[in-house]
């Protein structure tokens, strides 16, 4: 611990954001780096606790708090304070595959468990993490680290999202020969097409993929396994197959169909816009546009917020965001004490921007869509909403609470219900009632010999940091399998 009184002397200082009036004019990341001296002070705020809850990933009250990767946070915070970027990078990379991703998009479970947050503000762990990795890239410290020898074992990874990339990266470091099959035209999965540029610019994903290629990982794009690429062929040509296809079946609404003009799933909307961007600037390429439209977004989570921000940048006329649950309190309740995950109101960047433009928060709580109305052309024209509540776990409508909203466009951001069945069917892998690939509890191998599953496909819809953790642990299990089996 470099400065024992750091948490007493220095206040938490976050990276400033570009003002809403400026950042809504483009799709670029919008945080400004602090000085190196300030970053040193933020590293000094780490208390080096006797029990560092920040790296624990323990479940309390049904929610996980602390880092699922078990990052050695006190150690690399101390290295930041001491000005030892090389030492900080070494400690960070010992547990984290892609800090440049989690440092941008993770909700920072580590900070919610920070002991400094018990009676004050937690350490800026996520920003410190991002500083370490971006400094390393900037200073030429992130050079290819190809394995010194190859085992002769071949592994196919299906899907290049965070779990697939993590599994491929770790298996490659073990010395196995890894090929990643991705059905899209660019690698990255949801990192590429599910998270907008404002949170994660795509050259950051491309930079990591390029580094992995230079280390020996091969990427086969536009390769839809189970359709264009034979599952039997992969099981024959490779010693093991890792399925990391995500949870991609979107949850639908009983009141609406995406066959109606103007109604879209969030993943399709965000993918369309990302593909239309050229160097962060919207091109003439065809995309789902919200320009001059009244937009209703169904879903109050991170994806719904991303859709709000994207619609604003596309020039929508208005945007509202419907959320079925109650508005959370602004402060922790007496039962919601540290180090539990705080169930408090979170106002994200998209909601900030909508509030800046309209003067009010775009979210409408305890409300859902009851009916949609179409015009003579069969396109969406209005949305009928209704107030709802959860009684004994059952969703109940409030009689007489219906309201009619003008809507040229509706985006369904209500989450996902499982992986795509054609992939599991092709490999003969069982799916659970929740649409997940079935493995033994605590394991990653499916009932199909040599076929493994990881990430959202196995765990269900979750966070990027959990997907990376899954990919790493799955790779460890695959490595044990490959080294303990004889192959002809």
pLDDT in tens, 271-327: 999 999 977 778 888 999 999 999 999 998 999 999 999 999 999 999 999 999 999
261 within 8 A of 377, measured Cβ to Cβ? yes
Overall residue count recorded for the chain in this entry: 488
Q: Report CA Rg, the chain.
A: 23
Please tell me the distance from the alpha carbon of residue 465 to that of residue 448, in angstroms, as a whole number: 27
321: in domain: yes
* Selection from 37, 34, 142, 125 nearest residue 90 by Cα: 142
Q: Give the end of a domain, one of 412, 437, 458.
A: 412
258: in domain: no
pLDDT at 278: 79
149: in domain: no
Strands (E), 375-471: 380-391, 394-397, 403-406, 409-412, 451-453
Examine the domain organization and report whether 351 and 475 are in the same domain: no
Examine the domain organization and report whether 404 and 425 are in the same domain: no
302: in domain: yes
pLDDT at 280: 74
Examine the domain organization and report whether 335 and 271 are in the same domain: yes
Examine the domain organization and report whether 113 and 89 are in the same domain: yes
Strands (E), 159-215: 177-181
Tokens 């004019």, located at residue: 25
Dump pLDDT digits (tens) for 132-180: 999 999 999 999 999 999 999 999 999 999 999 999 999 999 999 999 9
**Partners of 387 in beta bridges:** 367
Examine the domain organization and report whether 370 and 274 are in the same domain: yes
Cis (ω within 30 of 0) for the bond into 339? yes
Examine the domain organization and report whether 439 and 389 are in the same domain: no
Give the SS3 label for residue 421: helix
| CA 186 and chain centroid, separation | 17
Strands (E), 182-224: 218-220
| Rounded alpha-carbon distances, angstroms, from residue 138 to 101, 144, 418 | 16, 14, 39
47: in domain: yes
Instruction: Give the structural domain span for 442.
Output: 154-248+417-484
Examine the domain organization and report whether 325 and 275 are in the same domain: yes
Examine the domain organization and report whether 132 and 165 are in the same domain: no
| CA 114 and chain centroid, separation | 21
209: in domain: yes
Structure tokens at 255: 């009141």
141 within 8 A of 449, measured Cβ to Cβ? no
Dump pLDDT digits (tens) for 440-462: 999 999 999 999 999 999 999 99
Contacts of 293 (CB under 8 A, 6+ apart): 262, 311, 316, 317, 408, 409
Number of domains into which the chain is organized: 3
Estimate the share of the chain in helix, then strand, then coil, as percent rounded to the nearest 5.
Answer: 35, 20, 45
**Any idea what the Cα angle at residue 97 is, between residues 93 and 102, rounded to 5°?**
105
For 129-141, b where at least 16 C-beta lie within 10 A, e where not — what string? bbbbbbbbeeeee
Q: Give the end of a domain, one of 412, 438, 456.
A: 412
Mean pLDDT of the chain: 95
Examine the domain organization and report whether 322 and 371 are in the same domain: yes
253: in domain: no
Structure tokens at 11: 């206040």
| CA 112 and chain centroid, separation | 18
pLDDT at 50: 86
Examine the domain organization and report whether 89 and 179 are in the same domain: no
CATH number at residue 75: 1.10.1060.10
Q: Give the end of a domain, one of 108, 138, 168.
A: 138
CB atoms within 10 A of CB 38: 14
Examine the domain organization and report whether 407 and 428 are in the same domain: no
- In the DSSP assignment, the letter for residue 461 is S
pLDDT at 149: 96
Examine the domain organization and report whether 194 and 158 are in the same domain: yes
336: in domain: yes
- Give this prediction's pTM: 0.96
How does DSSP assign 93-109, residue by residue? HTT-S-HHHHHHH---H
| Ranges of the chain whose pLDDT falls below 70 | 1-2, 487-488
CATH number at residue 393: 3.50.50.60
């Amino acid at each position: 611990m470099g400065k024992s009184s750091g948490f007493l002397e220095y206040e938490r200082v976050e990276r400033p954001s570009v003002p809403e009036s400026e950042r809504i004019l483009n799709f670029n990341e919008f945080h400004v780096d602090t000085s190196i001296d300030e970053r040193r002070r933020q590293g000094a705020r780490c208390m080096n606790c006797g029990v560092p809850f920040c790296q624990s990933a323990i479940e309390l009250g049904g929610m996980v708090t602390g880092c699922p990767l078990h990052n050695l946070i006190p150690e690399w915070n101390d290295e930041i304070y001491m000005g030892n970027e090389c030492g900080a990078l070494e400690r960070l990379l010992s547990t984290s595959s892609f800090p440049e991703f989690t440092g941008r998009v993770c909700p920072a479970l580590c900070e919610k468990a920070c002991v400094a947050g018990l009676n004050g503000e937690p350490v800026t762990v996520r920003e410190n993490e991002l500083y370490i990795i971006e400094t390393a890239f900037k200073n030429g410290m992130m050079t290819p680290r190809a394995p010194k020898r190859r085992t002769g074992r071949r592994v196919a990874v299906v899907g290049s999202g965070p779990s697939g990339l993590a599994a491929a990266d770790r298996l490659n470091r073990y010395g196995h020969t890894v090929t990643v099959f991705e059905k899209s035209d660019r690698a990255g999965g949801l990192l590429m097409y599910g998270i907008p540029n404002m949170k994660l610019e795509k050259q950051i994903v491309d930079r990591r993929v390029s580094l992995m290629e230079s280390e020996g990982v091969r990427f086969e794009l536009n390769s839809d396994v189970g359709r264009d690429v034979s599952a039997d062929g992969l099981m024959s040509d490779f010693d093991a197959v890792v399925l990391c296809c995500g949870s991609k079946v979107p949850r639908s609404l009983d009141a609406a169909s995406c066959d109606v003009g103007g109604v879209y799933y969030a993943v399709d909307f965000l993918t369309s816009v990302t593909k239309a961007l050229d160097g962060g600037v919207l091109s003439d390429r065809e995309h789902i546009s919200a320009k001059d439209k009244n937009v209703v977004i169904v879903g109050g989570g991170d994806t719904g917020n991303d859709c709000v921000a994207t619609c604003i940048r596309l020039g929508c006329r208005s945007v509202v965001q419907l959320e079925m649950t109650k508005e959370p309190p602004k402060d922790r309740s007496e039962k919601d004490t540290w180090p539990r995950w705080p169930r408090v109101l979170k106002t994200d960047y998209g909601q900030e921007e909508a509030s800046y433009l309209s003067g009010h928060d775009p979210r409408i709580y305890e409300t859902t869509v009851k009916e949609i109305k179409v015009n003579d052309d069969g396109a969406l024209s209005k949305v009928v909403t209704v107030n709802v509540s959860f009684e004994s776990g059952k969703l109940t409508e409030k009689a007489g609470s219906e309201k009619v909203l003008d809507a040229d466009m509706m985006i369904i951001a209500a989450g996902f219900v499982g992986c795509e069945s054609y992939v599991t069917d092709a490999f003969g892998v069982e799916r659970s009632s929740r649409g997940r690939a079935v493995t033994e509890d605590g394991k990653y191998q499916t009932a199909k010999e040599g076929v493994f599953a990881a990430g959202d496909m196995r765990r269900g819809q979750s966070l990027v940091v959990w997907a990376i953790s899954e990919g790493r642990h799955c790779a460890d299990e695959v490595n044990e399998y490959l080294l303990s089996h004889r192959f002809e």
